[in-house]
Amino acid sequence: MAAFERHLFVCTNVRAEGQVRGCCAGKGAEAIRERLKTLAAERGLKGRVRVNSAGCLDQCEHGVTMVVYPEGVWYGFVTPADVEEVVASHLVGGVVVERLRLKEGCLNTKGCEHRG
Question: Which residues form the interface with ligand FES (CB under 6 A)?
Answer: 11, 13, 23-24, 56-60, 63, 65
CB of 15 to ligand FES, least distance (A): 6
> CA distances (Å), 5 to each of 71, 87, 89, 98, 116, in order?
10, 14, 15, 20, 37
Give whichever of 8 and 59 is closer to ligand FES, judged by the CB atom. Answer: 59
CA separation for the pair 79, 81 (Å, rounded): 5
Q: Which is nearer to ligand FES, 96 or 107 (CB)?
A: 107
Residue 45 CA, chain-centre distance (Å), reads 17
Neighbours of 46 (CB within 10 A): 11
Q: Which is nearer to ligand FES, 51 or 63 (CB)?
A: 63
| Least Cβ distance, residue 7 to ligand FES (angstroms) | 16
